[in-house]
Amino acid sequence: MEMLGSVVGSIISSMAEYCDYHKDADEHVKNLKRKWEVLESRKEDIESRLEAELRRGKKQKKEVELWLGEVHKIKHEINIEQVLARWKFLSRMRMGECASKKTKVMEDLSIQASNFTDSLVVDLPESIGEMIPAPTLVGESTAQRTMQEILAYLKDNDVQKIGVYGMGGSGKTTIMKQIHNLLLKETEKFEKVIWVTVSKPFDLIKLQSDIAYKLKINLSKFDDVIARATELKAELEYKKRYVLILDDMWEAFALEEVGIPEPTSANGCKLVLTTRNLNVCVGMSCKSIKMELLSKEEARKLFLDKLGHDVFNTPNLKAIAEEVLEKCAQLPLAIVTIAASFKCLTDDFEWRDALEELRTSLKVSNNKEQQVLEKLKFSYDRLENERLKQCLLHCALHPEDYKIGKQELIEHLIDEGIIERRNSRQAEFDRGYSMLKKLENACLLEVGIYEYSSEKFVKMHDLVRDMVLWVASPQFKVEGHLGLEDFSDEGKWREDLVKASLMYNNISRIPPNASPNHLHGLNILDLSNTGIESLPNSVSNLENLTTLRLRRCWKLKHVPSLAKLTKLRKLDLEDTGITEVPHGLEMLVNLRYLNLNVYTLKIMPPEILPKLSRLQYLTVFSKVKAEEVASLKNLETFGGRFFDLYKFSTYMEKGKLPTYEIHVGSIRDLVGSIRGKKVVLANCNISRGEESFVLPKDVHDLEIYSCNNLRCLCDVPSLNHATELKRIYITSCKGIEHILCSSSSCCTLPLQLFRKEKDASAQVPPHTFSRLKIISIYECPKLKKLFPALGCCYTCTTWKRLTSANCQQLEEIIEEEEEEKEEEGMDTTKITLPRLKILNLQFLPELKSICSSSKVISCDSLEEIFIWACPKLKRLPLSLPLLNGQAVSSPFS
């Protein structure tokens, strides 16, 4: 009876509960909807915060990922919009029960969300540092001994600061680059390896900025060095165990002034510096290690390696070669440069003649640094012509350790007349690249590649630069990156000065007593990247000036009259603050290069440009007349804007330019240097039937911004004739629905963007996008399919990168066909992208597939896959390249 009573009680209790569900069903459903609205708002807030954090390189917390998954799941379980219609067929009791239980789940999810107030993300594993291109070590035994000694001290808990000292050119930097790269692999010992080049003279603010750059923090918001030091110290202490390498120091300084915490055995941090002076090591309280010169055997081996043949086994050259090697004094840099000068000599009389020059150039001196410069000067003197010497002299105008972009450098050499006039600017560039190659072969310039791009730069060893400035003195004045506040020392501005460079300094004005009134022989004046606010009127009298560079002088508001500077060939005012063109601009009839890419310059006065008939390079931010630009018959590079499609088309019909960047429509920033063939359409009314709108046939790069009536690329007239197009970039086009249409009735573009692969040797027809390499699509909210259904076996042989992000409705990359017919001899399961290297898909909430579920994309060159915030993408149908003979599995099954 007791058990029966318990069962009956339980039944009665349950019935009462279900009666409540029946009675309060409507209230339960209303409460469910209210709770969902609250939960959905929290979800949207969290997703917004999350998106911002992910853009900063963070990683979503696993608990946040699971929470969003649960919210997504319950949304589909309750289906708020259809819930009442479905429950009309159920009892009110069941309806109330379901609504009540789902409400409880939502309340629990809301409580969980409150735990996310601190952070939704975690930091991605931080790179310990970036590899530095390091030359091969010369003098194996000497270099290895020094290297092992440094590494031993780095592992010694009792040694925190290490100083490597020795003659300039002895190999200190080379060894430290090798050690830097080795340390990157020892993550258990150090968490960060930081390399900074200090150079002379000591500049506190620059050193702080360089260290901050490596730590990826911004110090520009701090006004004084103490605040900067405090911020820097906090960041370095946060990095825990690090190695800070300061290369090429010239004087000791207090670490706390910079913001570098004192390395101790407790914090596990290390400081390593290189210097030419032992006193710097002592002043920094370092454990000192001397960089020894090469042994005679090592010097001999290096000399032969650079010569490329064993001259010591040639009887009539052996004695001469022995003396040449002796003059190199076992110094690696001297051996390398002098051997390069002798490399092309074959006959004994050539060797004797060169040796006599070497003897003559080496004067008796007790100053070892002076002796090194004299040895290097021999390599300079042996250059085959004066233009090569002038090229090297020009490189020395840049600050110490400066990476000089090859493209920009050659532009300077052309505009200053160091490269002789040729039939075209391209031919002049070819000459420039050839000259730089000769200087590289002579070991007087080093070559490298910028970290952030594939562009090449050249750089001078600081000793080579010292030698060049020593040779050029007193005609050169170079004081770049010195932190100068003004130039109060008028005595330095000698009357025989030819070239003056003060780039990257803090000077804000040229005081009257230091103005260059007497510098009538000055050819080049470079004040770029300084804080100068105005130029003195005396600049107007520098009648022999051929180059005036004021690039990125943001505060510069006034430039005096240029009317007398009729020899001027190059005028660079990019990113200055001027509001009108300088007076007398129309008088500069010898001008070859004019950069007026100035945001504050609103008007380009008419009838000036046609008078500058020798212009080869022109960039101008403000509105210009198409007919005036077209009148410049020598123009080879143009960067500018037109404010309607008709004027743009009118200009493009006038002729072909080797390089250009033309913007049409609303304002977008021009790039600094024009190097390709680019058209940018921004806020333009692009619609089918605009017959007057003609793209240049040779355009390489097409960017489309905020053209909201654009439905697909088929709407861009003449695009099907752009046979050399390499890159398409589309962003913020609210009306675009397809990149290419599949409907032949509306599409004016040929669909051979992909081609059938019946014949592997068949060539892509010339009227297709046969050179397209990069496709980037961003923030196009109506876009659902990137590319139309194009059959079952197609290839685009040139694609290298495909990127799509923030396209809220994008569902497929390559649309699936309704019917797929197998053609004889064809693989119906494969789409081939043989050169695709990067696939990047981000923030595509509706993306479900890359291509048809029955297909696989073959991409043997793929190097990088980045997929982020694409929750519905469950399959990645990629056939990846072989790795060590084994197939690589796709990250999605």
Amino acid 817: pLDDT: 57
Q: Which residue has the higher pLDDT, 261 or 852?
A: 261
- The span from the CA of 244 to the CA of 211, in Å, is 9
* For range 640-668, the mean pLDDT: 75
- The span from the CA of 499 to the CA of 536, in Å, is 18
Amino acid 687: pLDDT: 66
Q: Is the pLDDT of residue 423 over 70?
A: yes
Q: Dump pLDDT digits (tens) for 265-275.
A: 888 899 999 99
Q: Dump pLDDT digits (tens) for 347-392.
A: 889 999 988 888 887 776 667 777 888 888 888 888 888 999 999 9
Q: Is the pLDDT of residue 518 over 70?
A: no
Amino acid 254: pLDDT: 92
> Nearest CA to 793 among 833, 848, 743?
833
Per-range mean pLDDT, top range of 583-592, 654-663, 860-869: 583-592
- The span from the CA of 117 to the CA of 105, in Å, is 20
Give the confidence band of 830 by pLDDT, cuts at 50, 70, 90: confident
Task: Please name the residue ranges forming H helices in 252-385.
Answer: 255-258, 278-283, 296-307, 315-327, 332-342, 348-361, 368-381
Q: Dump pLDDT digits (tens) for 701-747.
A: 999 988 888 888 877 767 777 888 889 999 889 888 888 765 433 44
Give the confidence band of 58 by pLDDT, cuts at 50, 70, 90: low
Q: Is the pLDDT of residue 696 over 80?
A: yes
H/E element, 457: strand 456-459
Q: Position 385: which residue type?
A: N
Amino acid 220: pLDDT: 76
Amino acid 739: pLDDT: 80
- The span from the CA of 879 to the CA of 469, in Å, is 57
Return the percentage of the chain with pLDDT > 90, whole number: 18
Give the confidence band of 151 by pLDDT, cuts at 50, 70, 90: very high
Which DSSP letter does residue 621 get?
Answer: S
For Cα atoms 589, 590, 596, give the angle at the middle one, nearest 5 degrees.
80
- The span from the CA of 484 to the CA of 466, in Å, is 20
Give the confidence band of 412 by pLDDT, cuts at 50, 70, 90: confident
- Residues shown for the chain: 893
Give the sign of the dihedral formed by CA 741, CA 747, CA 748, CA 754. Answer: positive
* For range 294-307, the mean pLDDT: 89
* For range 594-618, the mean pLDDT: 90
* For range 666-687, the mean pLDDT: 76
Amino acid 669: pLDDT: 62
**Beta strands 58-60 and 121-123, pairing class:** antiparallel
Q: Tokens 């100053």 map to which residue?
A: 367
Q: Tokens 């090798």 map to which residue?
A: 178
Q: Is the pLDDT of residue 749 over 70?
A: no
Q: How far is the CA of 113 from the CAs of 36, 40, 46, 869, in angstroms?
A: 13, 11, 8, 19
Amino acid 671: pLDDT: 58
Least confident piece of the model among 115-119, 525-529, 553-557: 115-119
Q: Position 690: which residue type?
A: E
**Residues linked to residue 162 through DSSP beta bridges, in sequence order:** 272, 287
- The span from the CA of 290 to the CA of 144, in Å, is 13
Q: Is the pLDDT of residue 622 over 90?
A: no
Q: Residue 272 corresponds to which tokens in the numbers above? A: 């390593």
701 neighbors 675 (Cβ within 8 angstroms): no
- The span from the CA of 17 to the CA of 742, in Å, is 59
Give the confidence band of 664 by pLDDT, cuts at 50, 70, 90: confident
Give the sign of the dihedral formed by CA 372, CA 376, CA 377, CA 382. Answer: positive
Q: Is the pLDDT of residue 288 over 90?
A: yes
φ/ψ bin of 493: left (φ > 0), alpha (ψ from -120 to 50), beta (otherwise): beta
Average pLDDT value for the chain: 78
* For range 304-323, the mean pLDDT: 88
Q: What is the 3-state secondary structure (H, E, C) of 406-433?
A: HHHHHHHHHHCCCCCCCCCHHHHHHHHH
Q: Dump pLDDT digits (tens) for 448-471.
A: 887 666 688 999 888 888 888 888
Least confident piece of the model among 171-175, 566-570, 814-818: 814-818
Question: Would you tell me how many other CB atoms lie within 10 Å of the CB of residue 744?
Answer: 8
Instruction: Name the pTM for this structure.
Output: 0.67
754 Cβ neighbours under 8 A, 6+ residues apart: 787, 790, 791, 794, 795, 796, 831
Q: Which residue has the higher pLDDT, 543 or 627?
A: 543
* For range 800-815, the mean pLDDT: 88
Amino acid 665: pLDDT: 79
572 neighbors 595 (Cβ within 8 angstroms): yes
Give the confidence band of 503 by pLDDT, cuts at 50, 70, 90: confident
Q: Is the pLDDT of residue 445 over 80?
A: yes
Q: Residue 31 corresponds to which tokens in the numbers above? A: 């409460």
Amino acid 4: pLDDT: 40
Q: Is the pLDDT of residue 483 over 50?
A: no
Q: Torsion angle of alpha carbons 260, 266, 269, 271, nearest 10°?
A: 70
* For range 607-619, the mean pLDDT: 92
Q: Which residue has the higher pLDDT, 790 or 552?
A: 552
Which DSSP letter does residue 683 get?
Answer: S
793 neighbors 833 (Cβ within 8 angstroms): no
Q: Dump pLDDT digits (tens) for 838-885.
A: 888 988 999 988 877 677 888 888 888 888 888 888 878 877 665 555
- The span from the CA of 238 to the CA of 739, in Å, is 47
Q: Is the pLDDT of residue 489 over 90?
A: no
Q: Is the pLDDT of residue 88 over 60?
A: no
Amino acid 15: pLDDT: 45
* For range 755-782, the mean pLDDT: 62
Amino acid 621: pLDDT: 83
Q: Is the pLDDT of residue 3 over 60?
A: no
Q: Dump pLDDT digits (tens) for 116-148.
A: 656 676 554 556 777 777 777 776 788 888 999
**Beta strands 593-596 and 617-620, pairing class:** parallel
End-to-end Cα distance, the chain: 60
Amino acid 625: pLDDT: 81
276 neighbors 165 (Cβ within 8 angstroms): yes
> Nearest CA to 169 among 357, 404, 395, 332?
332
Q: Quick check: helix, strand or coil at residue 244?
A: strand
Give the confidence band of 89 by pLDDT, cuts at 50, 70, 90: very low
> Nearest CA to 394 among 410, 381, 382?
410
